[in-house]
Amino acid sequence: MEFPATRLRRLRSTPAMRSLVRETHLQPGALIYPLFICEGEGVRRPISSMPGVFNLSIDEALKEVEECASLGVGGVLLFGIPDSKDELGTGAYATDGIVQRAIKAIKATKAAQSLVTIADVCLCEYTSHGHCGVVARDGEHYSVENDSSVALIAKAAASLAVAGADIVAPSDMMDGRIAAIRLALDDAGKQNTPIMSYASKFASAFYGPFREAAGSTPQFGDRRTYQMDGANLREAMREIEQDVAEGADMLLMKPAMPYLDVVREARNRFDLPMGAYQVSGEYSMLHAAFERGWLEPERAMLESLLGIRRAGADFIVTYFAKDAAKLL
């Protein structure tokens, strides 16, 4: 046999040939765009570490939803920035909470019919201490309580579903929250609202810019007693198993790029629809390199998203959703 019989380069010869044999595809409908909703009117406050991302009042958020819909973006993921916070994060489950009001406004638009309105469910944006649950203090020591937090998180999920969220997405990492949320949703008459569980969420430095955006930096301590240790892949599978058993409808893995092996392993083991969250730090570091002219923006952005899809994610939560959709 002549060497080499197999020449893999034959199928790379032209754009058309490459397109024909492409294994992984990106499409706007599989992208979800996060929105940070604040009080006020006409507010569009830039987040310094996340170029192109803003804190938006509800009227401004509606413009974003409109644009996302026209670009074919699959969904929006809502985070709230309330004016006032307290120990128990009551803003998270207030009937007239900032996200509850935003959902009602969004769902009343025509644009909302062509995309999915997803509510992030957590307490950290609403608690004065910035933790994702109820804090118990004992002198110098503190702990983030599990079960009392779960009760409030379930309440928040139900109130967001009643406000009209198409999907609720708990991101707190308390144990047992999926079962509690399912019960609360059913009790509220929301049997048909799916739960997208941030099933495997690691305690990550890559959430840094988000905490500026959402004003949710813990005032003391860190999130390591509830979010996962970045070293643990097997434990991530146990987290997912648990959430599936409790009734999760879909999974969200987070962060994406530093944990693509975890995404792949989850894809191999579980058949639920699964997304990955390209988090704030992943976005910010790419933008920092774009600003310096060190990376080609469009190519690097699409490559970062393609990698996440190739690892096994069906959909991607990304601050690049609109930019990517424009190119696809």
Give the footprint of ligand PBG on this chain (CB under 6 A).
120, 122, 124, 132, 171-172, 207, 210-211, 223, 279-280
Nearer to ligand PBG, 122 or 163 (CB): 122
Position of tokens 């490459």?
Answer: 18
- On whether the CB atoms of residues 239 and 266 are closer than 8 A, the answer is no
- On whether the CB atoms of residues 180 and 158 are closer than 8 A, the answer is no
Residue nearest ligand PBG, Cβ-based: 210
Minimum CB distance to ligand PBG, residue 130 (Å): 9
Which residues belong to the active site?
Answer: 201, 254
| Cα dihedral: 104, 105, 107, 110 (round 10) | 160
188 Ramachandran zone, left/alpha/beta (phi>0; psi -120 to 50):
alpha
* 3-state SS assignment for residue 121: strand
How far is Cα of residue 1 from the mean position of the Cα atoms in its chain?
53
Minimum CB distance to ligand PBG, residue 182 (Å): 20
CB atoms within 10 A of CB 270: 18
Minimum CB distance to ligand PBG, residue 207 (Å): 4
Nearer to ligand PBG, 73 or 132 (CB): 132
Nearer to ligand PBG, 57 or 171 (CB): 171
Which candidate, 204, 194, 281, 279, places its Cα nearest to that of 236? 204
* 3-state SS assignment for residue 57: strand
Minimum CB distance to ligand PBG, residue 119 (Å): 11
